[in-house]
Amino acid sequence: MKIIVIGGCGHIGSYLVPKLVRTGNQDYRVFDQIRRGEELILPNFGIETLHHVHADGVAQVFLNAITHRGSALGESFHAVGNESITLLGDAQAMYRCFGQEERISFLPWKGWCQYIKDEELVDKTYYHIARSGYYSIEKEKRRLALSLQTLSVPFVPLHTLRTADKQGMC
Residue-wise pLDDT for 77-99, tens only, equals 888 877 778 888 888 888 888 88
Q: Which helix (H) or strand (E) holds 52?
A: strand 52-54
Q: How many CA atoms lie within 13 A of 62 on its CB side?
A: 6
Task: Report the candidate in 117, 104, 103 with the shortest Cα–Cα distance to residue 44.
Answer: 104
Residue 94, CA distances (Å) to 34, 85, 100, 140 in order: 7, 12, 9, 29
Q: Are strands 104-107 and 40-43 parallel, antiparallel or unpaired?
A: parallel
Q: Compare 122 and 50 and report the one with higher pLDDT.
A: 122
Going along the chain from its start, the domains and CATH numbers come out as 5-158 (3.40.50.720)
Q: Look over the chain and give the mean of its residue pLDDT values, rounded to a whole number.
A: 75
Residue-wise pLDDT for 16-62, tens only, equals 444 444 455 567 778 888 889 999 999 999 998 877 777 777 888 88
